[in-house]
Amino acid sequence: MNATPAVRLDHVSKEFAGNHAVRDLCLDIAPGEFFSLLGPSGCGKTTSLRMIGGFADPTSGTVLLGGEDVTGLPPDKRNVNTVFQSYALFDHLSVADNVAFGLKRRKVAKAEIRERVGAMLEMVQLADLAGRRPRTLSGGQRQRVALARALVNRPAVLLLDEPLAALDLKLRRQMQVELKQIQREVGITFVFVTHDQDEALTMSDRVAVLNDGRLEQCGTPEDVYEHPASRFVASFMGTSNLVSGVYRDGEVRLDSGPALPVGRRDGCADGSTVSVSIRPEKIWLSDFRPGMPVIRGVVRETVYSGPTTTYLIELAPGVTVAALEQNTARSRMEDRWEGGETVELGWEPEHCLLLV
């Protein structure tokens, strides 16, 4: 990145009673970027967010905002705002007064407050609810009030700590789209914490995957999903078939069962023990390309989920992979494989990743 990062974490670590919550984390987040910190509970993502916001001090390392060292500064001395999972709205105030709260504390002129609050409520589509109390609103509406209250202060960086986690699935997906649209419109750097892989893939310009306080991989959603750097990332980012075996002559050989075609790989010596990662949607069960290597397996389970059907296919004793097919307009129930049937399956060798 050529521009000064909006956020830089320079070898940041955090310990609690001798336990490492964050370990030597280095990250640069660009101005105007929608950046997600992704990982399971306890991986250090919320602690990292709190150190950016000034709610926690690093044990070691430096936090910079716009090139300025803010390590040790309290939250009110940093040009950031935070949207929490709980929203933390004031029920005794109207929607408009909730949004205006920070501006009033900063003693902004009344006319400017009215203008900025009105414009922000228009942006989040709540102008007609300005006089309502938060307790009368839906979860999605309360989330938008919290977002408007943070954005009206025009922070350089907005921190979001799992703000959609309390919403039901349908509303959460709707709000993912709306939140990304708002971020593009205002052009502010968003740092978003989530444990939901689909959420991170949908919304982010880049994703940092954390595990046990360490950075496992950082890149675009496509890079992280298609080219996982470790077994953890491959398994955590969506669904991946992970199979262990020995690499030899462009194949990975299992203890029993078929050899898995992976193609010849530079830097992988014959006889190396490797893990194979292949996504369920990359596996073909019909209409094979000419020359595509094909192996056989036995269907053990068929899982219908509306748009797709997933087949659990046993390749060898103790080795089962998932293969996913779209249910198209031409799909018929009688065309689906049932448990016990032998099927052929194949994939492009380049879609089969080796994780040494």
Give the chain's domains with CATH numbers: 7-231 (3.40.50.300), 239-355 (2.40.50.100)
Residues 215-232: tens digit of each pLDDT: 999 999 999 999 999 999
Residues 250-260: tens digit of each pLDDT: 889 988 778 88
Question: Lowest-pLDDT range, 59-73, 93-107, 333-347?
Answer: 333-347
Instruction: Place 349 in a pLDDT band, splitting at 50, 70 and 90.
Output: confident
How high is the pLDDT of residue 300? 95
Is the pLDDT at 2 greater than 80, yes or no? no
Q: What is the 3-state secondary structure (H, E, C) of 247-302?
A: EECCEEECCCCCEEECCCCCCCCCCCEEEEEECHHHCECCCCCCCCCEEEEEEEEE
How high is the pLDDT of residue 17? 86
How high is the pLDDT of residue 333? 66
Arithmetic mean of pLDDT, 160-166 = 85
pTM higher than 0.85 = yes
Instruction: Place 42 in a pLDDT band, splitting at 50, 70 and 90.
Output: very high
Is the pLDDT at 285 greater than 60, yes or no? yes
How high is the pLDDT of residue 111? 93
Arithmetic mean of pLDDT, 335-344 = 87
Rounded CA separation 171/149 (Å): 20
Rounded CA separation 148/89 (Å): 11
Sequence letter at residue 13:
S
Is the pLDDT at 1 greater than 60, yes or no? no
